[in-house]
Structure 1
């Protein structure tokens, strides 16, 4: 086997290995689904307390997701710009969702408590 062919194969193997690792890393970072929030007009206090617990569980899962994205950034400093932007958008979307779900649950819980 010639030297250039051997280097070419080695390069392809390294490339395939890095793509598999990158895909596995992205698969490990799973964005959690938003919980549903009942309408205060028809929800019981128990429904709202369950929604509050779901919100807290979501926030913990979302924080784990954000931590995972941060770890990817540190482990893959030379990642493609498009992938980096995709991850940044996912990070920002998750932070926005965490804030929005918290405000929504608290607003509905306040409405139930005011009845």
Structure 2
């Protein structure tokens, strides 16, 4: 069918996910609950599906890298792998000598008319 000689190869994921009964109950609960954040539901659907990453990505409307990432996390860490990892705090603000914003920077308060 392809006159250009190209073909598409879909590789199976090296992370074969087999859900336990408990995992299935938790993931199904997340999907059904109206209060579960959408991103968590999406991750649950990715982890629960046994298809290729490309097929899961196409079904859910996400990129293949997203499907690959969450499937691998679930494979390695189970349900806990589907939650957000803690983020580092924002970097501290650095102020000029004097310790306050605007000091030594040639800034002044606006003049009132």
Question: Does the pair score TM above 0.5?
Answer: no
Structure number with larger C-alpha Rg? 2
The structure richer in helix per residue is: 1
**Short-chain TM bin:** under 0.3
- TM-score using structure 1 length: 0.25
Normalised by the length of structure 2, the TM-score is: 0.25
